[in-house]
Structure 1
Amino acid sequence: MTESKERKIKRCIESRVVQTHRVLPSDLNHHQTLFGGNLMSLIDNTASISAARHSRGVTVTASMDSLDFLHPIYSNHSVCIESYVSGVGKSSMEVFCKIMGEDLMTGKRYLAATSFSTFVSTKTKEQGDIIVPLVEPTTEEECLVCEGYQKRREKRIINREFNERFANAISYAAPWEAEVF
């Protein structure tokens, strides 16, 4: 049997997660918009649920591959993060997040950001090695997002190789012990 016949296939909607939050004054930066770090935390939380739903295993964030801020999110607006698995390797999953803002007074919605993250399903004593199911898009948007997976994956592999070489060249000396130029 080929690998694809042995592996289960799940539709994107089976890993879909939607979380909505009100943006409060404590969430804001000095521009009076949602602090980017807070949004990153919300994205990671939402995307991690999608990865766990898809793999039905223990997952960890391997990387936040991209986060493109498109429109600021203001105080007293809501932020809605929608995520689903958009591509898979053997044990890795790419998760797409669409971040929508909404002016709660007018009802106007806008695309605030998009993001891709990679999660890895980890081996456990109970489950052993995990081979994640393949993913099948069914909507026009899912097809558009999923069709770019292979190119994004190739770019991640190149970036990972560079990052490994780069990390090996970085000094581990304490900053107060480093030479001053």
Structure 2
Amino acid sequence: MSKEQERKIKTCRESRVVQTHRVFPYDLNQHKTLFGGKLMSLIDDTASISATRHSRGVCVTASTDSLDFLHPIHEDHSVCVETYVTGVGKSSIEVFAKVIGEVLLTGERYLAATSFMTFVALPTEESPTIIVPLIEPQTIEERMVCDGYDQRRKKRVSIRQFNEEFAETVTLAVPWMTKGWSEFTD
């Protein structure tokens, strides 16, 4: 039996993680809404649990493929980050995050952000061969999100190729230690 035939299939639900937090004054930006970097950290933390739960292996963040801020989250609201696996490669794992804000005093809920992240399952001494399980959506939302995986993956591959080429042109010189800026221009 080949390794591809040995792959297990898991549902999106099996990788689902939900974290809810209250937004405090120290979480705010100058606009008096949740600081984007704080939300990014919450998403990465939650998504990493989904990726690890799905693969049952060591996973690291490979990229934040998209993060769309749709509605500001205010002080004293709650922020709920829900993540689950929506696509897999041989060792890569795509995780979808939806961020729901809630006005705690009224119960009004709103979609605050969505995000797609990619993680990579790494081999270890204990598990030198990585076989990431396939994913099977069950709900209408899961099917809709998972159906777009191939298109998002192609876009990621294209962007990664561009970034690798782009990185070759980025200088590592220390500008404040350089006598002139001539080496930074043509």
The amino acid of 1:101's aligned partner reads G
The amino acid of 1:146's aligned partner reads C
The within-5 A match list for 1:19-168 is 19-168=19-168
Q: How many residues align?
A: 181
Please state how far the C-alpha of 1:4 moved relative to its aligned partner: 4.5
Hey, what's the Cα distance between the residues in 1 that align with 2:154 and 2:19? 30
Please state how far the C-alpha of 1:179 moved relative to its aligned partner: 1.0
The amino acid of 2:23's aligned partner reads V
TM-score normalised by L of structure 2: 0.95
C-alpha contact (below 8 Å) 2:59/2:121 kept by paired residues: yes
C-alpha contact (below 8 Å) 2:3/2:131 kept by paired residues: no
Hey, what's the Cα distance between the residues in 1 that align with 2:127 and 2:2? 22
Hey, what's the Cα distance between the residues in 1 that align with 2:4 and 2:138? 18
Q: Deviations over 1:83-125 (max 9, x none)?
A: 0000000000000000000000110000000000000000100
Structure 1 residues 121 and 6: CA distance shift in structure 2, 3 A: same
Hey, what's the Cα distance between the residues in 2 that align with 1:19 and 1:93? 20
Q: Deviations over 1:119-174 (max 9, x none)?
A: 00001001102110000000000000000000000000000000000001100100
Please state how far the C-alpha of 1:175 moved relative to its aligned partner: 1.7
Equivalent residue of 2:43, what SS?
Answer: helix
Please state how far the C-alpha of 1:2 moved relative to its aligned partner: 5.7
List gaps (5 residues or longer) in structure 1: none
Q: Deviations over 1:17-63 (max 9, x none)?
A: 00000000000000000000000000000000000000000000000
Hey, what's the Cα distance between the residues in 2 that align with 1:25 and 1:136? 40
Hey, what's the Cα distance between the residues in 2 that align with 1:2 and 1:158? 29
Please state how far the C-alpha of 1:3 moved relative to its aligned partner: 5.2
Hey, what's the Cα distance between the residues in 1 that align with 2:52 and 2:33? 30
Hey, what's the Cα distance between the residues in 2 that align with 1:76 and 1:60? 32
Please state how far the C-alpha of 1:6 moved relative to its aligned partner: 1.6
* Structure 1 segments (4+ residues) deviating >2 Å: 1-5
Equivalent residue of 1:166, what SS?
Answer: helix
TM-score normalised by L of structure 1: 0.97
